[in-house]
Amino acid sequence: MLTRRLSDVIVVGAGVVGAACAAYAVRAGLRVTVVDRGAVAGGTTGAGEGNLLVSDKAPGPELELFLISARSWAELASADLPSTVEYEAKGGLVVAQDDAGAAALAEFADRQREAGVDAEPVPADRLRDLEPHLAPGLAGGVHYPGDAQVMPALAAAHLLRGCGDAVTLRLGEEVTAVLRGPGGEVRGVRTPRGEIHAPYVVNAAGVHGGELARLAGVHLPVLPRRGFVLVTEPLPRVVRRKVYAADYVANVASGSAALQTSAVVEGTQAGPVLIGASRERVGFDRTLSVPALRRLAAGAVALFPVLAGVRAMRTYAGFRPYLPDHLPAIGPDPRVPGLVHACGHEGAGVGLAPATGSVVAACLTGGEPPLDIAPFRPDRFEADAGKAATG
């Protein structure tokens, strides 16, 4: 059997989180092999809108992680990434349909400001100053200058390309085993093409992160949460920012398996308008859901009536890697020496990728992570696993 000993660490997953883990590990002086069952950005990353959102994050660990990432994305875009990745610090606008919704938005923004977020209240009569094509009659909103966007597949590809010869890509290879030593420590992985040896394995496998954890003998309850995106024909910039209805924040935080939709509309530098967002847990079923698409289209037109006559050129589905408490698993797994997790980011993986990569690199090299990573501990679901096993 072929054995490869090329690297200090194996990153499983070539999406944007895996690419960021590889990039920051290389910055720390490590040699990396990236293994993926498909192509670079061939999973959740390639099906995402590229959101870098502060507007949907309540004060707490995820917001702290994002604020670090937001600075890193801006630095990467100015120094390391080409303009083709379409990084755009365009800001976001969250709008409310009625007075009760406006009051809830204002309270949420107050708490975010206390945590360091730039959140600007917008009265109803000023909304169309920011977005001239918005529907009339909305009750108000909040403007978030810190919201941004990037073309996620290109960003992942360029993060890996920037690693040069320090990264070896093994694409189209599914990991079938995590190799363990006599003391239970990680020794590498096995794919159908042979064994790859390294003392560390990073689980950046996205929606397959739970499966990789099982191969290592541990429990991590990652589940796929399906979403659809509608893509319109190229347009003049009729939508300047990312604009969404206030119920989007509640849907993000919900644990329901049922179909949930909320109007999320954003223009892109390339011209098409992206329309979301839907969430439902249906396993890995990619079947086109006409009810979901109708709800997305109706929600978009309710926010921007100008879109009523615009053609939707295509639609696609993706799967967000969902964990029950809506926080990713990041950091060393105390149950398996050498196993480090970087998965379960749900719909925030693009936004959180640089900070995740920085944390992982610190864990691999004995450095100090940029924030307290205790809330992201990968073994925090162990009690639930025990209850399920004995229940």
pLDDT, tens digit (0-9, with 9 covering 90-100), for 271-304? 999 998 888 999 999 998 999 999 999 999 999 9
Instruction: Please check whether residue 311 lies inside any domain of the structure.
Output: yes
Give the confidence band of 251 by pLDDT, cuts at 50, 70, 90: low
194 & 104 share domain = no
124 & 191 share domain = no
**Is pLDDT at 181 greater than 60 in this prediction?**
yes
Provide mean pLDDT across the span 131-159: 96
> How many domains in the chain?
2
pLDDT, tens digit (0-9, with 9 covering 90-100), for 4-50? 457 999 999 999 999 999 999 999 999 999 999 999 999 999 988 89
Instruction: Please check whether residue 25 lies inside any domain of the structure.
Output: yes
Provide mean pLDDT across the span 179-198: 97
Beta strands in the chain (DSSP E): 3-4, 9-12, 32-36, 51-52, 92-96, 120-123, 140-144, 148-149, 167-171, 177-180, 186-191, 194-197, 200-203, 223-232, 242-245, 260-267, 273-279, 312-322, 329-332, 339-343
Instruction: Please check whether residue 74 lies inside any domain of the structure.
Output: no
Q: 253 is in which domain, residue-wise?
A: 90-145+223-322
Provide mean pLDDT across the span 267-271: 88
**Is pLDDT at 152 greater than 90 in this prediction?**
yes
240 & 372 share domain = no
Instruction: Please check whether residue 174 lies inside any domain of the structure.
Output: yes
**Most confident range, picked from 123-137, 233-247, 374-388:** 123-137
Instruction: Please check whether residue 63 lies inside any domain of the structure.
Output: no
Provide mean pLDDT across the span 90-95: 96
- Domain ends where: 322, 349, 380? 322
Instruction: Please check whether residue 57 lies inside any domain of the structure.
Output: no
169 & 257 share domain = no
**Whole-number pLDDT of residue 187:** 97
| Higher pLDDT pick, 261 / 42 | 42
288 & 230 share domain = yes
163 & 302 share domain = no
**Residue 378: CB atoms within 10 Å:** 28
Provide mean pLDDT across the span 371-391: 77
Segment (H or E) for 113: helix 99-114
**Whole-number pLDDT of residue 269:** 85
**Whole-number pLDDT of residue 69:** 97
pLDDT, tens digit (0-9, with 9 covering 90-100), for 310-355? 999 999 899 999 999 999 999 999 999 999 999 999 999 999 999 9
User: Of the ranges 240-249, 267-276, 377-386, which one carries the lowest mean pLDDT score?
Assistant: 377-386
141 & 210 share domain = no
239 & 307 share domain = yes
288 & 190 share domain = no
Residue 258 is which amino acid? A
Query: Judging by DSSP bridges, how do beta strands 120-123 and 329-332 pair with one another?
Result: unpaired
pLDDT, tens digit (0-9, with 9 covering 90-100), for 213-229? 999 999 999 999 999 99
318 & 329 share domain = no
**Whole-number pLDDT of residue 389:** 46
Distance of CA 155 to the CA centre of its chain: 13
Q: What percent of the chain has pLDDT over 70?
A: 94
Q: What percent of the chain has pLDDT over 90?
A: 82
Q: Domain of 350: which CATH number?
A: 3.50.50.60
Query: Is the pTM value of this prediction over 0.85?
Result: yes
Token match 């042979």: residue?
A: 194
**Whole-number pLDDT of residue 387:** 53
Residue 114 structure tokens: 């206390």
**Is pLDDT at 388 greater than 50 in this prediction?**
no
Residue 165 structure tokens: 């010869």
179 & 135 share domain = no
Alpha carbons within 13 angstroms on the beta-carbon side of residue 51 total 27
Task: Tell me the C-alpha distance between 233 and 309, whole Å.
Answer: 11
**Whole-number pLDDT of residue 76:** 94
Question: Average pLDDT of the chain?
Answer: 92
Q: Domain of 104: which CATH number?
A: 3.30.9.10
Instruction: Please check whether residue 81 lies inside any domain of the structure.
Output: no
**Whole-number pLDDT of residue 5:** 53
**Whole-number pLDDT of residue 2:** 44
- Domain ends where: 268, 298, 322? 322
**Whole-number pLDDT of residue 285:** 92
Instruction: Please check whether residue 68 lies inside any domain of the structure.
Output: no
Residue 36 is which amino acid? D
333 & 314 share domain = no
